[in-house]
Chain A
Amino acid sequence: KAGVTQTPRYLIKTRGQQVTLSCSPISGHRSVSWYQQTPGQGLQFLFEYFSETQRNKGNFPGRFSGRQFSNSRSEMNVSTLELGDSALYLCASSRGGAPTNEKLFFGSGTQLSVL
């Protein structure tokens, strides 16, 4: 069974641009959640999607958005990039029962650098 796949693995953007990251969950998993990891703030929860609906959201500005498609694949978008958005962005999938009350399977992440 294939694991969680995130693309691209690395990304370099400049301030003011926007970026879209992709996450393909494990087959049969219906929940996808997104996280930001930085050296200063550690891991922080961005949002969680289930059946194409955002089920929960962390404390990030509206520049951070996401969506989920009918095949459970999810995308995350960051608009008007700032230097502080440089981070490792991770997604995780789960079967999708109680949100975040199940074992999470993480992708390898997308390392975003904003110059």
Chain B
Amino acid sequence: KNEVEQSPQNLTAQEGEFITINCSYSVGISALHWLQQHPGGGIVSLFMLSSGKKKHGRLIATINIQEKHSSLHITASHPRDSAVYICAVTANDYKLSFGAGTTVTVRA
């Protein structure tokens, strides 16, 4: 069983819709990362968080350490948000483990 589970695997939304991606993990962690990968391979770090909530533009990331769960929300989605979103955790041994990713498609 993977240490990091993401859902859904794929998601299609209409432009303007609110999108939520979930991440659950089974190990003790010191940090959780949300990454965005566009076709062609480039990965951008969106958030790194160890507690609470962070917001950047239309993106919001939350984490509940007790429940070992994090969510990434995209408000007012746009076609340029179409990408693969990957959750990664820094375990207590400082090794990074990755979720399988969520492919998001936003239609105009």
Q: Name B41-55 residues within 8 Å CB distance of A.
A: 41-45, 48, 50
Number of interface residues of B (CB under 8 A): 24
Q: Name B19-53 residues within 8 Å CB distance of A.
A: 30-31, 33, 35, 40-45, 48, 50
**Which chain A residue has the least Cβ–Cβ distance from B50?**
A101
Residue A8 CB within 8 A of the other chain: no
How many contacts between A and B, using CB within 8 angstroms?
Answer: 59
One of A55, A56, A58, A106 near B44 (C-beta < 8 A): A106
- Evaluate contact between A43 and B86: CB separation under 8 angstroms: yes
One of B35, B43, B94 near A56 (C-beta < 8 A): B94
**Which chain A residue has the least Cβ–Cβ distance from B91?**
A100
Q: In the complex where A88-B41, A90-B41 touch, is A104 in contact with B33 (Cβ < 8 A)?
A: yes
Chain A contact-residue range equals 20 to 34
Q: Which residues of A contact B (CB under 8 A)?
A: 33, 35, 37, 42-45, 48, 55-56, 58, 88, 90, 92, 98-106, 108-109, 111
Assuming A35-B96, A42-B98, what are 15 further A-B pairs, CB within 8 angstroms? A42-B101, A45-B95, A45-B96, A45-B97, A55-B94, A56-B95, A58-B95, A100-B94, A101-B48, A101-B94, A103-B45, A103-B48, A104-B45, A105-B45, A106-B42
